[in-house]
Amino acid sequence: MSLVDTSWLEKNSDKVKIIDCSWHMPQTKRSGFEEYKKLHIENAIFFDLDKNSKTDVDLPHMLTDVKSWEKILSSMGIKNEDQIVIYDNSDVISSCRCWYNFIYFGHNRNLVHVLDGGLKKWNNEKKPTVNNLTKTINTNYVANEKKELVRNKKQIDENIFISKFKIIDARSRERFEGKILEPRKGLRSGSIKNSFCLPFSELINEDHTFITKKKILEKFKLTKCELDANIVFTCGSGVTASVLALAYSLIDIKYMPIIYDGSWSEYGKTKI
């Protein structure tokens, strides 16, 4: 159950830890934390996708190390046995990246959920919100890193020749096909050789909910990618790749999300 709906969360809010992982593309000039301070679901804890990532690289929100992750979750008051519901107020459905991070660092995937429709749907339904900062009590979170759930550039390059896994890109078709400039400076246009394209936006309704499982399956089939193969997701910087990974987990409950963490922010630096 990767997704929960707003009614479920409203009924079970006292039984779960709620996380606001709103993150916005730099060009939007929006701050997830500033918006959180003005309005959020009661008891939600803010997760800063930029600050809670690897800080010693020039790539955006890469996975941090195990010790840092343990400190982050411990400071948020998260326990290993906690059931987690993550939401966002973002056009790129950034909650899915936080969902992936939890699973990568070993939180029981059956205990990690994304709020379908996020804060947008919650607000549209006039459900209660607050503006006070949520107080937390430090815990002693212990992570269990699953390195098999991430791919690096070397593995991506090798795979072009040995084809051990298939790659699906979540960016727009115009970016994937190199028809427009990349939003981040210093990156060439285009895509990884032999990869497939499924824009994440095609899986999201106007109210920020996911389309039905049947439609998700149809969208994946339209990519012409072998769906029984090992699938790795990529995008611009690892955020919307996680949207595809969550969507795929809805139609294949055994699938564990695998992301090319550097995504085009790293690969697009390559000269051809």
Residues 157 and 67 in one domain: no
Q: What is the pTM of this model?
A: 0.97
Which of 93, 124, 155 terminates a domain? The answer is 124
Coil/strand/helix, residue 44: coil
Q: Residue 138: inside a domain, yes or no?
A: no
Task: Check which CATH number belongs to the domain holding 223 and give it.
Answer: 3.40.250.10
Q: What is the CA radius of gyration of the chain?
A: 18
Kindly state whether residues 194 and 108 are assigned to the same domain: no
Q: Which residues contact 240 (CB under 8 A, 6 or more apart)?
A: 92, 93, 96, 170, 171, 200
**Number of folded domains that form the chain:** 2
Domain encompassing residue 38: 3-124
Please tell me whether residues 46 and 115 are part of one structural domain. Answer: yes
Residues 231-255: tens digit of each pLDDT: 999 999 999 999 999 999 999 988 9
Tell me what percent of the residues of the chain surpass a pLDDT of 90: 92
Percent of the chain past pLDDT 70, that is, above it, reads 100
> Which whole number is the average pLDDT over 108-134?
97
pLDDT digits (tens, 9 = 90+) for 19-74: 999 999 888 889 999 999 999 999 999 999 999 999 889 899 899 999 999 999 99
Same domain? 111 vs 209: no
Q: Enter the tokens of residue 21.
A: 């992982």
Say how far apart CA 237 and CA 265 lie, in whole Å.
6
How far from the centroid of its chain's Cα atoms is residue 182's Cα?
20
The answer to whether residues 251 and 160 belong to one domain is yes
Chain position carrying tokens 């400039």: 181
Asked if residue 140 belongs to a domain, the reply is: no
Q: How far is Cα of residue 132 from the mean position of the Cα atoms in its chain? A: 26
180 shares a domain with 113: no
**Would you state the pLDDT for residue 272?**
66
